[in-house]
Structure 1
Amino acid sequence: MPHQLAQDLRLPTNLLDYAILAIYFIVVLGVGFAARRSVKTSLDFFLSGRSLPAWVTGLAFVAANLGALEILGMAANGAQYGVYTVHWYWVGAIPAMVFLGLVMMPFYYGSRVRSVPEFLLHRFGPSSHLLSAILFSAASVLIAGVNLYALAIVLEALLGWPQWVSIVVSGVFVLLYITLGGLSSAIYNEVVQFFVILAGLIPLTIVGLKRVGGWSGLYDSLTGAKGDNFMTAWGGTGIGSDNPLGANWLTIVLGLGFALSFGYWTTNFAEVQRALSAKNLSAAKRTPLIAAFPKIFIPAIVVIPGLIALVIAPNIGQGDGLQYNDAIPLLMRDLLPNGVLGVAVTGLLAAFMAGMAANVSSFNTVFTHDIWRGYLVKDRPDEYYVVTARVVTAVGVVLGMGTAFIAATFSNIMNYLQTLFSFFNVPLFTVFIIGMFWKRMSPAAGFWGLLAGTVAAMINYFWFYKGGLIDIPSDQGANFVSAIIAFVVGAIVVLIVTPLTKPRPVEQLAGLVYGTRSPGLEELPEAGDEAWYRKPALLGWGAIILAALCYIPFSF
Structure 2
Amino acid sequence: MDVDLRLEAKAIDYAFVVVYFAVVLGVGFIARRTVHDSRDFFLSGRRLPAWITALAFLSANIGAVELIGMAANGAQYGMPTTHYYWIGAIPAMVFLGLVMMPFYYGSKVRSVPEFLRLRFNRATHLYQSVVFAIATALVAGINLYALALLVNVLIGWPIWLSIGVAAAVVLVYTGLGGLTAAIYNEVLQFFVVVAAMTPLTIAGLHRIGGWDGLVASTAADPALAPTALHAWGGTGVGEATNPFGNWILIVLGIGFVNSFGYWTTNFTEVQRALSAKDMSAAQRTPILAAAVKMLLPAIVIVPGMVAGQLVVGLGEPGLPYNEALPALIDEVLPNGLLGLALAGLMAAFMAGMAANVSAFNTVVTYDIVQTYVRKDRPDAYYLRVGRRVNVHGVLVGVATAFIAARFDNLQDYIQQLQSYFNAPLFTTFIIALFWKRMTPWAGLAGLLAGTAGAVGTSVVGGLGWVTFNSSQMASFVGMGVAFVAGALACVVVSLVTTPKPVEELDGLVWGRGRLPIRGAAAVPVLDGAAPEVDEPWWRRPLPLGLVVLAGCLALNLAFA
Q: Distance in 2 between matches of 1:388 and 1:9?
A: 43
What does 1:149-160 align with in structure 2 at a 5 Å threshold?
Answer: 149-160=145-156
Residue 9 (structure 1) shift? 1.1
* One-letter amino acid of the structure 1 residue matched with residue 189 of structure 2: Q
Residue 531 (structure 1) shift? 2.6
Please, which of 535, 539, 543 is the counterpart of residue 540 of structure 2? 535
Deviates most, 306-315 or 401-410:
306-315
The TM-score normalised by the length of structure 1 is 0.97
Offset from partner CA, 1:365-423 (integer Å, 9 cap, x none)? 00111011110111111111111111111111111111111111111101100111111
Check if 1:301 corresponds to 2:299: yes
Deviates most, 145-154 or 218-227:
218-227
Instruction: Judge conservation of contact 2:60–2:268 (CA < 8 Å) in 1.
Output: yes
Match of 1:137 in 2: 133
Offset from partner CA, 1:72-111 (integer Å, 9 cap, x none)? 0100010111100000000000000000000000000000
Match of 1:102 in 2: 98
SS in structure 2 of the partner of residue 229 of structure 1 = coil
Q: Distance in 2 between matches of 1:479 and 1:10?
A: 34
Residue 506 (structure 1) shift? 0.7
Pairs aligned (count): 549
Instruction: Judge conservation of contact 1:512–1:518 (CA < 8 Å) in 2.
Output: no
Q: Distance in 2 between matches of 1:32 and 1:359?
A: 17
Match of 1:282 in 2: 280
Q: Distance in 2 between matches of 1:387 and 1:520?
A: 31
* One-letter amino acid of the structure 2 residue matched with residue 23 of structure 1: V
Please, which of 412, 415, 418 is the counterpart of residue 418 of structure 1? 415
Please, which of 495, 505, 527 is the counterpart of residue 499 of structure 1? 495
Q: Distance in 1 between matches of 2:70 and 2:452?
A: 27
Residue 493 (structure 1) shift? 0.7
* One-letter amino acid of the structure 2 residue matched with residue 284 of structure 1: A
Match of 1:233 in 2: 231
Match of 1:553 in 2: 558
Q: Distance in 2 between matches of 1:264 and 1:146?
A: 16
Match of 1:179 in 2: 175
Offset from partner CA, 1:307-329 (integer Å, 9 cap, x none)? 001101253122x2111110110
Distance 1:522 1:123, change over 3 A: farther
Q: Distance in 1 between matches of 2:244 and 2:284?
A: 35
Q: Distance in 2 between matches of 1:190 and 1:527?
A: 30
Match of 2:526 in 1: none
Offset from partner CA, 1:229-280 (integer Å, 9 cap, x none)? 2110111111233535151111111001000000000000000000000000
* One-letter amino acid of the structure 1 residue matched with residue 325 of structure 2: I
Instruction: Judge conservation of contact 2:139–2:356 (CA < 8 Å) in 1.
Output: yes
Q: Distance in 1 between matches of 2:402 and 2:231?
A: 33
Please, which of 247, 250, 256 is the counterpart of residue 249 of structure 1? 247
Instruction: Judge conservation of contact 1:282–1:529 (CA < 8 Å) in 2.
Output: no
* One-letter amino acid of the structure 1 residue matched with residue 37 of structure 2: T
Q: Distance in 1 between matches of 2:330 and 2:311?
A: 12
What does 1:305-454 align with in structure 2 at a 5 Å threshold?
Answer: 305-318=303-316, 320-454=317-451
Q: Distance in 2 between matches of 1:467 and 1:198?
A: 42
Q: Distance in 1 between matches of 2:273 and 2:502?
A: 28
Q: Distance in 2 between matches of 1:314 and 1:260?
A: 33
Distance 1:513 1:149, change over 3 A: same
Q: Distance in 2 between matches of 1:398 and 1:269?
A: 20
Q: Distance in 1 between matches of 2:94 and 2:19?
A: 36
Instruction: Judge conservation of contact 1:112–1:520 (CA < 8 Å) in 2.
Output: no
* Gap regions ≥5 residues in structure 1: none
Distance 1:364 1:446, change over 3 A: same
Distance 1:186 1:334, change over 3 A: same
Match of 1:116 in 2: 112
Q: Distance in 1 between matches of 2:290 and 2:318?
A: 36
Instruction: Judge conservation of contact 2:261–2:425 (CA < 8 Å) in 1.
Output: yes
Residue 538 (structure 1) shift? 1.2
What does 1:456-467 align with in structure 2 at a 5 Å threshold?
Answer: 456-461=453-458, 463-467=459-463
Match of 2:9 in 1: 13
What does 1:476-495 align with in structure 2 at a 5 Å threshold?
Answer: 476-495=472-491
Please, which of 517, 523, 544 is the counterpart of residue 549 of structure 2? 544
Match of 2:514 in 1: 518
Match of 1:292 in 2: 290
Please, which of 27, 31, 35 is the counterpart of residue 35 of structure 1? 31
Instruction: Judge conservation of contact 2:193–2:348 (CA < 8 Å) in 1.
Output: yes
Instruction: Judge conservation of contact 2:77–2:225 (CA < 8 Å) in 1.
Output: no
What does 1:62-81 align with in structure 2 at a 5 Å threshold?
Answer: 62-81=58-77
Q: Distance in 2 between matches of 1:434 and 1:221?
A: 47
SS in structure 2 of the partner of residue 161 of structure 1 = coil
* One-letter amino acid of the structure 1 residue matched with residue 38 of structure 2: S
Deviates most, 341-350 or 231-240:
231-240
SS in structure 2 of the partner of residue 267 of structure 1 = coil
SS in structure 2 of the partner of residue 524 of structure 1 = coil
SS in structure 2 of the partner of residue 230 of structure 1 = coil
Check if 1:272 corresponds to 2:270: yes
* One-letter amino acid of the structure 2 residue matched with residue 55 of structure 1: W
Q: Distance in 2 between matches of 1:198 and 1:363?
A: 27
Residue 523 (structure 1) shift? 5.1
Residue 551 (structure 1) shift? 1.8
Match of 2:195 in 1: 199
SS in structure 1 of the partner of residue 271 of structure 2 = helix
The TM-score normalised by the length of structure 2 is 0.96
Distance 1:529 1:354, change over 3 A: farther
Distance 1:227 1:121, change over 3 A: closer
Distance 1:530 1:17, change over 3 A: same
Residue 520 (structure 1) shift? 4.3
Q: Identical aligned pairs, as a percentage?
A: 55
Q: Distance in 2 between matches of 1:383 and 1:529?
A: 41
Distance 1:375 1:503, change over 3 A: same
Match of 2:524 in 1: none
Q: Distance in 2 between matches of 1:334 and 1:323?
A: 16
Instruction: Judge conservation of contact 2:370–2:376 (CA < 8 Å) in 1.
Output: yes
Deviates most, 103-112 or 244-253:
244-253
Q: Distance in 1 between matches of 2:241 and 2:537?
A: 44
Offset from partner CA, 1:275-333 (integer Å, 9 cap, x none)? 00000000000000010011000000010011001101253122x21111101101111
SS in structure 2 of the partner of residue 127 of structure 1 = helix
Calculate the aligned-residue CA RMSD, in Å: 1.6
* One-letter amino acid of the structure 2 residue matched with residue 421 of structure 1: Q
Q: Distance in 2 between matches of 1:436 and 1:470?
A: 34
Q: Distance in 2 between matches of 1:504 and 1:244?
A: 45
SS in structure 2 of the partner of residue 264 of structure 1 = helix
Instruction: Judge conservation of contact 2:235–2:242 (CA < 8 Å) in 1.
Output: no
Residue 340 (structure 1) shift? 1.0
Instruction: Judge conservation of contact 2:507–2:514 (CA < 8 Å) in 1.
Output: yes
Match of 2:504 in 1: 508
Deviates most, 20-29 or 515-524:
515-524
Instruction: Judge conservation of contact 2:436–2:502 (CA < 8 Å) in 1.
Output: yes
